[in-house]
Chain A
Amino acid sequence: GQNIDQPTEMTATEGAIVQINCTYQTSGFNGLFWYQQHAGEAPTFLSYNVLDGLEEKGRFSSFLSRSKGYSYLLLKELQMKDSASYLCAFLKAGNNRKLIWGLGTSLAVNP
């Protein structure tokens, strides 16, 4: 089968660094995605990893280990506007190009 898991909630302090973990199980894998979703809004794309390693994009970085079925999103220099839900999703291999979504991690950034 396929499964994806991430923590439900996290809290952090403004200016700090936070790491949001995501683990997945699947028989076929074609990439790992992270999205940000502010309350009441649509998800917006943050990052994509298909090979092992770290992808850095400004204050946000995403890491993937395919052998461990593990990814994390690293947010540096946290700002209040980073308070949002962070969704992890993987793309199944095959013709049906569907994303399998986690339930999201709600991050609260406190002053």
Chain B
Amino acid sequence: GAVVSQHPSRVICKSGTSVKIECRSLDFQATTMFWYRQFPKKSLMLMATSNEGSKATYEQGVEKDKFLINHASLTLSTLTVTSAHPEDSSFYICSARFRGSLYNEQFFGPGTRLTVL
């Protein structure tokens, strides 16, 4: 149980285009999903917390107009990188937390490698 999927696993796009990444909890309801960014050989940087049915909460320094997050259902959150540039190239990982969880245990997706040319 507690499987989280991400799609696509890898995407290459041209500078200036927008890219959408999907995060799905396959076998549980996730009222809260998280989006992280990971640079090579670095730890995870929390970008935003996404709650179903409400606006995402962004971490300091993360541009909300550039990284659009939508959490339309209890099993799906999307991250759209708008007008992507080479500096947005990174590994993006989502995670999901059980509805009703008290411990903030998160289940992670396999990640999406974004390369902007």
Q: Do A and B assemble together? A: no
